[in-house]
Structure 1
Amino acid sequence: MLDPRPRAHITAPSGWLNDPNGLIHWRGEYHVFYQHNPFSTSWDAPHWGHVVSTDLVTWRHLPIALRPTTGGPDTDGCFSGCMVDDGGDAPLAIYTGVRNVGDELVQSTCLARATAGLRQLVAHHANPVVPGPPDSEATEGFRDPFVWREDDGWHQLVGSGSHRSGGIVYHYRSANLVDWECTGVFHRGLANPGDPMDTGIMWECPQLVRGLDADVLIVSVHDDSDVGRRKVVALSGRREGDAFKESGVDIVDHGSAFYAPAVTVDAAGRTLMWGWIQETQTSAGQMHQGWSGALTLPREVWIDESGALCSGPVAETSGLRTTLLLDKRVELAAGEHDSLLSDGAHAWVELTVDVSRGHGVELHVLSDPAGRESTIVRYDHAAEELVLDRSRSTLSSEAITTRERGPLTVTDG
């Protein structure tokens, strides 16, 4: 039986994993924290799990870095956040603390100082530094701070929701990371259920990618009415003072499993992004395997000349390729097929496909010899779509099989 745990993706040793948090490149090490429930494969009272790498390929698990503080503003969970270098001996984490008060879920911005070596996070005595939403417009959530520094001080974005416009992002300023002043709404969406760019009931995990001539605001669109409507959108535009002027919008990832990405800038000046890969199996299946969720491979993201967000695998992922298994040229007529590899559960496949004659192409992976199970990657030339077909990926009753699709226009064949 194949080990279902991915080899190259970050997973928790056991229990639940969701959003990546606190990304930072610190003294030669890449640190990735993540939302983690170590006690169960279902979501509850998040802690911060922790992995570290020097090459973005091989990861080492470290002890849980941040735990809820009994009686504190994060007593019921340490939600998502970021990490900044404020010139101290170790970085500072900024995250959302959650506390249940009666029927109300109080969400506030909290701080935690990393110990030397960045192995543990210790809650700040000033918590919470932002006790909650600045006004009555916020009707859904107030969480996932994203912080950066400029010449005029520190800036903070916090995701929320509005009864008037669906998702909104608040903007704050500070000189010292402890005392924060809200300057208003950084950007707001337009609630329009049914539209592919519907902004849902709130925006989570706001991230700002900076470019020379343009910026991109990334938000994760949350809607309790239908989990399948969760998506991540990139809002192109420009930050103007304490607000964002939008000029375009697009989907970051067309798969339904991708959510809550976070970004950081490393010592080489690259903007790196990780996202949460949600499980595609039932709760019983997750419980049976003992762990749930994974993070994407790291991506490098940048803004192109049109102001759109682009992404690709980081160069270091070439280190995952160790042995050349096959190198050949295949010419197939319509309806023909060819076997590339007969065994092996893990392979890096690079294909150059000529579809200039108007035909599509399919790549079947993880296929059993009897042909009962197979996962298909298909280019549909007529529809101009790339399709990931998991309808026959497994015979297991614990799996949720779907077809994912995204637009792909081929201009040169």
Structure 2
Amino acid sequence: MGQHFFITVKEDILFRHFKNSNGWMGGPCGAVFFKGEYHVFFQNYPHAMRWGPMHWGHAVSRDLISWEERSPALIPDMSYEDGEGCLPGCALEHDGKIYLFYTSDSASSGNSVSVASSSDGVLFEKYEGNPVLLPPETSGGRLMHPFVFEEDGTFKMVAGSVKDGLGTIYEFCSKDLYDWELKGETETGLFLRGTIEHPAVFRVDGDRFMIFQSPANMPHRILFAREGEIFTVETGPDLYSPVVFSDEEGESVLVGWLNDRIKGTSCLSIPRKIEGDLRGDLTMMPVDASCKYLIDESRFVEYVNGRLRIMFEGKLLFDKAYKECPDLLVLEDVGTVEVFIDGGRETITCAIC
């Protein structure tokens, strides 16, 4: 493997959000709790402050707020990754190993799904039989962001795609994590044109939910689905690329990407615990280690004449009508504001710049 040169990020230090130290940073690729530590993986081009063939950056934490960056987990060094590189997917713990499922992108053949594994959480070995899954014939060659989970005694995978121009989520199953069989597809019913991104399946209080992001050419809306009902919790403009994983207690946690369009840099959102309230609604609040940083008044957030606004240096970043002032908690950091409304029934994420 050739010598690698890394570009160091020289930006304002974030106090509560993880930001990488080398090169361009994109959204999270997957996260997992493994041998007493949380591992989060993220899109990274370490050679310049711009998008390039994607690597999987890697960081670890014991509390989901203090992070130690490690060497990249995946580097695009195979022929089936010679296009856009190693794009997002997921991380899964099974039988004492971490398995990374990722979108491998080839300049000649397009998307596929590949897998790498590690027994120590440091060095990851790519499967010699990669790629393990090619796009279905009906997908137009698009198969993005695989998410793998165990359910009903088998391994299942959902992956974003497109069929007849509309966003679709394909479903697969496997007994061994390597040989996958197409089982069906889920149409969102929203007539979203383009590829669905970042699908995932999780459970809260026994109920099964799916989360996904609308196609890149659409407004960036993180959507949830339960038994045919489509809804959202995040209504702000700047949270992208959601990743859902289980914490040490088996509870669902979401982390996403805050992209600073002005500086061209970004960071991960504060991890948010997904829970259900007494009304059966989903809520998202910061994980326990971050709650001490919540404040109930912010110089960036105001409620005036029936409207909740987020402002920065006279620039309006968010504006929405509410009949009365909602119960607000805010988490501020350098360049970021995250607002949690009514116990997390609604969240608003903004890059302040």
TM-score (normalizing by structure 1): 0.71
Letter of the 1:78 partner, please give it: C
Shift of residue 7, structure 1, vs aligned partner: 1.6
Letter of the 1:188 partner, please give it: T
Shift of residue 207, structure 1, vs aligned partner: 1.3
After the TM superposition, which segments of 4 or more aligned residues of structure 1 sit over 4 Å from their partners?
Answer: 406-413
How far apart, in 2, do the equivalents of 1:33 and 1:412 lie? 35
Per-residue CA deviation, residues 216-239 of structure 1 (Å, 9 max, x unaligned), is: 211111243x6xx222111232xx
- The answer to whether the Cα contact below 8 Å between 1:221 and 1:232 also exists between their aligned partners in 2 is yes
User: RMSD over aligned Cα, in angstroms?
Assistant: 2.4
Letter of the 2:204 partner, please give it: G
Shift of residue 3, structure 1, vs aligned partner: 6.0
How high is the sequence identity, in percent, across the aligned residues? 25
Q: Aligned residue pairs: how many?
A: 317
- The answer to whether the Cα contact below 8 Å between 1:299 and 1:312 also exists between their aligned partners in 2 is yes
- The answer to whether the Cα contact below 8 Å between 1:216 and 1:309 also exists between their aligned partners in 2 is no
How far apart, in 2, do the equivalents of 1:172 and 1:67 lie? 26
Out of 387, 390, 407, the position equivalent to 2:312 is 390
Shift of residue 108, structure 1, vs aligned partner: 0.7
Alignment of 1:2-401 (within 5 A): 4-71=12-79, 73-76=80-83, 77-87=85-95, 89-101=96-108, 106-114=110-118, 116-132=119-135, 134-136=136-138, 138-139=139-140, 141-163=142-164, 166-191=166-191, 199-224=192-217, 229-237=219-227, 246-247=228-229, 249-281=230-262, 285-286=263-264, 292-304=265-277, 306-318=279-291, 349-351=295-297, 363-364=298-299, 376-383=300-307, 386-390=308-312, 392=314
Deviates further, 34-43 or 205-214: 205-214
How far apart, in 2, do the equivalents of 1:204 and 1:64 lie? 23
How far apart, in 2, do the equivalents of 1:230 and 1:183 lie? 28
Deviates further, 42-51 or 14-23: 14-23
Q: Compared with structure 1, are the counterparts of its residues 107 and 378 closer, same or farther at alpha carbon in structure 2 (3 Å cutoff)?
A: same
3-state DSSP of counterpart to 2:190: coil
- The answer to whether the Cα contact below 8 Å between 2:213 and 2:221 also exists between their aligned partners in 1 is yes
How far apart, in 1, do the equivalents of 2:34 and 2:170 lie? 28
How far apart, in 1, do the equivalents of 2:25 and 2:91 lie? 19
How far apart, in 1, do the equivalents of 2:174 and 2:197 lie? 21
Which has more strand, going by share of residues?
Answer: 2
3-state DSSP of counterpart to 1:91: strand
Q: Compared with structure 1, are the counterparts of its residues 90 and 223 closer, same or farther at alpha carbon in structure 2 (3 Å cutoff)?
A: closer
The structure whose Rg is larger is 1
- The answer to whether the Cα contact below 8 Å between 1:377 and 1:387 also exists between their aligned partners in 2 is yes
How far apart, in 2, do the equivalents of 1:139 and 1:305 lie? 43
Letter of the 2:275 partner, please give it: W
- The answer to whether the Cα contact below 8 Å between 2:168 and 2:186 also exists between their aligned partners in 1 is yes
Letter of the 2:133 partner, please give it: V
Q: Compared with structure 1, are the counterparts of its residues 391 and 210 closer, same or farther at alpha carbon in structure 2 (3 Å cutoff)?
A: same
